[in-house]
Structure 1
Amino acid sequence: MVGYRRVMADDPALIPHEINTERQRYPHCVVWTPLPILSWLFPLIGHTGICTTDGVINDFAGPYTVNVDDMMFGNPTKYWQLDVSRVRDMEWDEAVNKSSQEYRNRMHNLFCDNCHSHIAYALNLMQYDGKSNWNMVHIAVYLLLYGKYTGFGGFLKTWLPFMLILAVILAFIFLF
């Protein structure tokens, strides 16, 4: 799926923006990367960010901190590209920027108000898909169901540590 942004011209047109994993540009995407140690044990748990129309990543990285174009735990390994035509209320970039501004004033809480919440806040502002009840669980589930790996390297970065730990555990169980 290709995302679009509005441009000013004689006749307003929609210009496609494609994902570019080499440049780390993910227009209209929610991106995901593994968290050291935690994702090694539970590979479905990770760190997320939301991208602008130009594909620049914004991620709630910690207390009062939203990184722009420098994701806290490294480059994304998965992305979920959203359909900008499903935005109802606020323009995409305006919602991402407003969400980032809000989260620059918030304390990070791993369980209640985290990077997933930052994305949910933006989706609620734009009333994505006609909904205003997005939350961190929705973001996690949608990433699981609709997320795509950035490539084979992204898949390995996500699953290899878990598989190695599992192999060591199984080796101890069956060999000793």
Structure 2
Amino acid sequence: MAEVRLLLPVMAEVAEEKMKPDPERSRFPCCIVWTPIPVLTWLFPFIGHMGICTSSGVIRDFAGPYFVSEDCMAFGKPVKYWQLDPSLVRAGGSNPWDTAVHEASEEYKHHMHNLCCDNCHSHVALALNLMKYNNKSWNMVKLCIFSLLYSRYVSFGAFLKTWIPFVLLAGAMLTVILTLHLR
């Protein structure tokens, strides 16, 4: 019995270590991940491509019509992640997080992709709704806002990859406008 008590802190530490995101290996357990979409993100840096990860960190994203990819995001490796707390899952079952991600992915294999209303954000929202995450209702707008507020960049380079094109375009537009206006 004393040996079990000694092992409990070690087991808790190992479990905690398994839940840490590992950008080098592209493993983000129980996270929502985000990557920029060329041109679209350059114009609107809060809009990008989103996926949801299993408890082991495998990325699932609705990448196109009738296709949900696994560990190969449609627009490249994640630049941001939002770590979620699996203890806030309210659905029952033996592994509700992974079950919900799997069921949402299977459902979206039967969906036509639509940039405006049935897209990668909708896929993630369905997974969160199936697992009853935090007993809230999730949709693509809420996910976009929360991702913008709570996500962390995987590196400074990832931050630059997201914002530099927008800053350059905005600067160029401002320069043209000021040049034409000051004539």
TM-score by length of 1: 0.89
Task: State the percentage of identical aligned residues.
Answer: 56
Partner of 1:83: 85
Partner of 1:146: 150
Shift of 1:175: 3.8
Shift of 1:110: 1.0
Tell me the distance in 2 between the aligned counterparts of 1:125 and 1:76. Answer: 24
How far does the alpha carbon of each residue in 1:92-126 deviate from its partner, in whole angstroms, 9 at most, with x for none? 11110111000001111111111000001000110
Residue segments in structure 2 that go unaligned for 5+ positions in a row: 1-7
Q: Does 1:32 align with 2:34?
A: yes
Instruction: Decide which structure has the larger Cα Rg and report it.
Output: 2
Residue segments in structure 1 that go unaligned for 5+ positions in a row: 1-10
Query: What's the C-alpha RMSD, in Å, of the aligned pairs?
Result: 1.4
Q: Does 1:93 align with 2:98?
A: yes
Q: Does 1:115 align with 2:117?
A: no
Q: Does 1:70 align with 2:75?
A: no
Specify the SS of the correspondent of 1:117: helix
Partner of 1:3: none
Tell me the distance in 1 between the aligned counterparts of 2:58 and 2:89. Answer: 18
Tell me the distance in 1 between the aligned counterparts of 2:152 and 2:68. Answer: 24
Shift of 1:173: 2.7
Higher relative helix content: 2
Q: How many residue pairs end up in the alignment?
A: 164
**Letter of the aligned partner of 1:172 in structure 2?**
V
Q: Does 1:160 align with 2:169?
A: no
How far does the alpha carbon of each residue in 1:51-100 deviate from its partner, in whole angstroms, 9 at most, with x for none? 01111110001100001000000111111110000001041111101110
Tell me the distance in 1 between the aligned counterparts of 2:142 and 2:49. Answer: 14
Where has structure 1 moved over 3 Å in runs of 4 or more?
none
Tell me the distance in 2 between the aligned counterparts of 1:136 and 1:172. Answer: 35
